[in-house]
Structure 1
């Protein structure tokens, strides 16, 4: 190819004595960079053309058409050699041209500002003769030196800023564009899209990853998906800070009392049977109507994803509902008596108590093993009731009061004991929210930092789908889809995930590609149009072809999620908002209260 180009150059310059041929030969034998060598012959050809045209016009030569044609062909062919078509060298050529023009503009601006400043500070009788002398002695006198420095700043700074802004605006890849579907923007751009100035009497927006959540997105719930130590707790802390600053109420599932120690205020309630600050609670405080017994029994003994065991859970729910109903009628409505009848009382005595009820079938002859299995399941779910302190605190009454937040706390060494109890409390709260008036509801946030740390919540799906008109906003953390599948079953877990239209996707474990795939699918897909340029070289010359190609691709690949560093992720909001690539910033918040006061 180099020999071919050299041959073209020799054909284009048949007269060795011409200036163009001499300059071309000098440059070819110089030590200039290869990219400069590729650009120079093209310019030399045009210079040769101009000189030749001038010489031929003077000599009235009529053979200049052949030379002109040969020169133009040479100039065109040089554009077809691969070295010239190389995009890197072409970009360098464009960049050098832009920088050259920018430098010229900056110099002219500086010269203009210098002339303007010096003519307004000094009186010149003969400006055209004295200005060059002043320019020559500029750096010999302090006064002239400062004028020159300021003139240079006035000329070069605007040009430099303009180049910087143009570079930022032109930073995106112009060879591809998103036709439709999910679109990713930098984290600094998304807040400008979602931020809205609150009107008079309108609350401020809550934030996560420094992105203001639109009001319309709050009731679409938020799923925090990511492995351990990726930033879920950092995101929850930022949300809680803005929620508390806005004056909203919150139900916070708080492992180790982290949120309680930093965000609690006067009037809030701590619910933990092992904490001295916790009020006394009993299941009988929640009963108001005849149908409450069945509903709350399902909260305490939830359904199971195991179809073979669901029948026994149904028996346990029925036995608990009928026992609490019977004890309410007899006046034995205390936690102590409930535990006695469910776990300790002989089967004959329990049969007498529940005679004529829907649970009487459990006491038929031959059903002894069924009754034993049912009471065994009940002992697991109500066993933690033995640690409850007597009192009249009611979750439903607290919801209806409309003041303060509720913290359900535990320490890690208490989780195995308190897990069924706290899960029952959360389910009762979710079901009770659906009974609140739906006219102008007060915002109520349910913060589930680790959804998989609780047992199955029977009312969660209803709360996610119907709670928005009652003001419910659910924020749930999820470490792995396998955890949710194990608790709720694969189909039900998929239904629950579909109820979260807002999602903060953080880093996934490399050993859990299934979770990364599910999160990637949740972020959506994009239709990408790419411009592809193909260069071909053959014996007839070179050719360039361009075509457009459209493909459907994942907005964020699973491998990208698995390679995310801690505190970085993608935020997808409900509605027509782009996906923001965000960075969480940890904030050191002082502890205002002790997280736990042991009873």
Structure 2
């Protein structure tokens, strides 16, 4: 409430102006409604009575009205009445006393009353209609007019009816909302923070996949889906630490060298910004070395690890002779070869947990053959690829490789648009970069491939695959579920993805003044673009609440998923006795090789060589891992750069390897001093010359590795400027 003169004046002017405008409309309506009432009453009267009775009735009431006056007249007037073709001449006394005229008068009054009420009801009804119509038009004028873009709907049932009407409704439903028919092969994306409902959404899909008998490949970090859906009678499980793990054979899985190279791309991922030479070289050695063991009747994962990680360089050089990998272990670049094997060790050692799997008594299993045996017309089993938090970092390279192989093998199943093979990957961020995934998502539609990817935020996708590849992958996800994003930056991304509504927004202006001629209201509509949902709406979504975008001309749907508690049908995890360490000979060879590498680094980096103790049993978490702990660790406090002018110092990364399954910290390469003096000790010119010769050979090898590293987005063009 306000008693300020300005507020009272403005309120009064606007109120009375609107009241005058309202009365103006009412005057116009009343004028025409009265005319309409007269017309209806008269029309009904002529319909219900004859003209003779109407005239005689009028004469009767006229005479009744004038009789008191005419009674004093000497010569009373005579009126001519019609009576069925005859004319009767009556005075007023005769008219008011004649039974026939009395009847006509009473009939006229009765019918006039009836006709008036009929007309009044009609007029009132018409008045209500006109007021409603004018109010409707006024409301429509004030409403914003949608001319394009998307709109928001909070009624899933209404969208379901629209889909059914158009014939687009699928048998796959999320609560009350059906998916678009055929949209499964156009892929699904689930975006949202932890605990917002992505796993619940996947469960709803999985229940229907089981009912339909579709083939499913499911990445289950945490083994929660295993507990609710695993059926040992028809399903397979891959987890080296789980007793139910199938006997997966690497060589059967990759029957050709090209298959091994594809698997190596995921097993040994490229770093985000490091020199791609090291990972590319490691991939080449892994693929060629593994391929050389293909025809060995005694091949095993233990022997593979012994070959790649433990045998000396001369033996490895002999094994790889005649292959592109032979130049990477050349005797002239021994230090480079040692560094390459360090990177190789960091990733390939994840295969050690598969040691002894061949002794499980199970038949050999390959993802490739399992997928080729799909039953298009019947029930299919599922493949669970699982891990848990305790072992995940150790298994990450192998899990990523398995999923990449599954995605790549979809093309070997043959074209079939009616088949459905689902690949569900929740927590995509917890895996290495799946190099085949972008192409698989783009090309697997005709093979029946259906991808469902879950991740907590779009920046995670960019971090793994890079901005362009992440954008391309996200664009291929035609059906998207956006759950809560607490970060404003990520929520703004979701706001943009939900789209805009193009509308004409109502704009009203009121003018008033001392004279009434200045009073008035003007309005118009300006075209605006507004977001379907603001980023704050995304930030404050409840758990299980989400926005859904569907392919085609459908609104953005806001809905809340129903939580369903599911009973356990299998154990989450059945521990398997795993041979966590390699045999003693391999451990000793690895430690010896790492110490040699440490000495080389001490020679050129000025660090003290690291001497390791006897190898111990490998710990699953990597804390007691000789493959990692035996590598030299640089201490920046021990570095003593030369104070001589014009000299440069060589630096390495703080650690040559990353934790098991992680990204490796690559060597940082700078210019080499001539001559080099570290820690006040001058290196012999002969040693330095040997080092320079090695670098020249390594640069030549790096140029040969261009084809290996061709997927790298940015690389150094002038390789000759780099020396170690």
Structure 1 length as normaliser, TM-score?
0.69
Aligned to 2:708: none
Partner of 1:576: 553
Taking the aligned partners of 2:141 and 2:191, their CA distance within structure 1 comes to 30
1:269 to 236, 243, 251: 236
> Distance between the aligned counterparts of 1:277 and 1:520, measured in 2?
44
Q: Aligned pair 1:544/2:521, yes or no?
A: yes
What residue in structure 1 maps to residue 171 of structure 2?
Answer: 205
Give the structure 2 partner of residue 221 of structure 1. 187
Distance 1:381 1:174 in 2: 65
Contact 2:193 2:485 in 1 (8 A): yes
CA distance in 2: counterparts of 1:342 and 1:268, whole angstroms: 33
In 1, the alpha carbon distance for the partners of 2:573 and 2:166 equals 39
Alignment map for 1:196-595 (pairs within 5 Å) = 205-265=171-231, 266-306=233-273, 308-388=274-354, 389-390=357-358, 392-402=364-374, 403-440=380-417, 442-509=419-486, 512-539=487-514, 540-595=517-572
1:331 CA drift (Å): 4.1
Measure the CA separation in 1 of the matches of 2:476 and 2:346: 30
> Which stretch of the first structure deviates more once superposed, 343-352 or 512-521?
512-521
Question: Offset at 1:496?
Answer: 2.0
Measured at CA, do residues 263 and 196 of structure 1 come closer, stay the same or move farther in structure 2, by a change above 3 Å? farther
Q: Which residue of 2 aligns with 1:182?
A: 150
Change (3 A) 1:485 1:546: same
Cα distance, 1:503 vs. partner?
Answer: 0.7
Give the distance between the partners of 2:252 and 2:490, measured in 1 at CA. 41
Aligned with 1:434: secondary structure? Answer: helix
SS at 1:372's partner residue?
helix
Q: Which has the higher contact order (CA 8 A, sep 6+)?
A: 1
Structure 1, unpaired ranges of 5+: 8-33, 54-166
Q: For residues 556 and 197 of structure 1, do their structure 2 counterparts lie closer, same or farther at Cα, with a shift above 3 Å needed? A: closer
Q: Are 2:156 and 1:194 equivalent residues in the alignment? A: no
For residues 207 and 244 of structure 1, what CA distance do their matches in structure 2 show? 14
| Cα contact 2:186–2:477 (8 A) shared by 1 | yes
Q: Secondary structure at 2:324's aligned position in 1?
A: coil
Q: 1:172 to 1:456 in 2, by over 3 A?
A: farther
C-alpha deviations, 1:295-353, integer Å up to 9, x for none? Answer: 222232233432x3322111111111101111114445321111111111111110000
Quick one: distance in 1 between partners of 2:12 and 2:165?
A: 64
Report the Cα distance in structure 2 between the residues aligned to 1:548 and 1:4, rounded to whole angstroms: 25
1:567, CA displacement in angstroms? 1.4
Is the CA contact (8 Å cut-off) linking 2:257 and 2:288 kept in structure 1? Answer: no
Aligned partners of 2:415 and 2:447 also within 8 Å: yes
Displacement of 1:178 in angstroms is 2.1
The separation in 1 between residues aligned to 2:12 and 2:496, in whole angstroms, is 56
- What's the CA shift for 1:183? 1.6
Q: Deviations over 1:7-46 (max 9, x none)?
A: 9xxxxxxxxxxxxxxxxxxxxxxxxxx99x9699959x96
**Equivalent position SS for 1:548:** strand
Runs of 4+ in 1 over 4 A off after TM superposition: 1-7, 37-43, 170-174, 195-199
Distance in 2 (CA, whole Å) between partners of 1:595 and 1:418 is 17
Number of residue equivalences = 449
Deviation at 1:490, TM superposition (A): 2.5
In structure 2, the CA distance between the partners of 1:290 and 1:409, relative to structure 1 (3 Å rule), is closer
Tell me, yes or no, if the aligned pair for 1:253 and 1:449 is still in contact at 8 Å. Answer: yes
Residue aligned with 1:206, SS: strand
CA contact (8 A) 2:180 2:551 kept: no
Q: Quick one: distance in 1 between partners of 2:22 and 2:242?
A: 86
Q: Distance in 1 between matches of 2:256 and 2:314?
A: 29
Change beyond 3 A, Cα 1:179–1:214: same
What pairs up with 1:44-55 in 2 under 5 angstroms? none
Q: Distance in 1 between matches of 2:443 and 2:21?
A: 73
